[in-house]
Amino acid sequence: MNYRYVESELILAQELQKAGEYEHSRQMYKKFYGKYPKHPMRFKALFEVADNLYYEKKYKEALKSYDKFFKYCDEQDNVTAEEISWIKAYGNLAYSRIKAIRKIYSI
């Protein structure tokens, strides 16, 4: 598999997110997640789906998506030390978003 091409899809989705095109970005991340079941950056796609929902202020959906991200990460075996460090970093960011959402909803 040509990961260079695959990663360009992630870059495009990220650029759309930066431009505020959250729904389009979210759809690209979902497509990536479904299309590449063995790609080591699938966790990022799941995280970014949730983050796009967060930026769209669809907080209840974002909470569910962050939960899906954590469940996916917990189920992974055979990850490299580098992947673990990335997953932890994204996990910390997800926890900060969840904390902010709970503050908004007082939960």
Distance of CA 99 to the CA centre of its chain: 17
Rounded CA separation 94/99 (Å): 9
The pLDDT, as a whole number, for residue 8 is 87
Which residues, including other chains, have CB under 8 Å from residue 44's CB and lie 6 or more apart? Answer: 10, 86, 90
Range of the domain at 60: 3-105
pLDDT beyond 70 at 106: yes
Q: What is the CATH number of the domain that holds 80?
A: 1.25.40.10
Domain count, the chain: 1
Least confident of 36-40, 45-49, 70-74, 98-102: 36-40
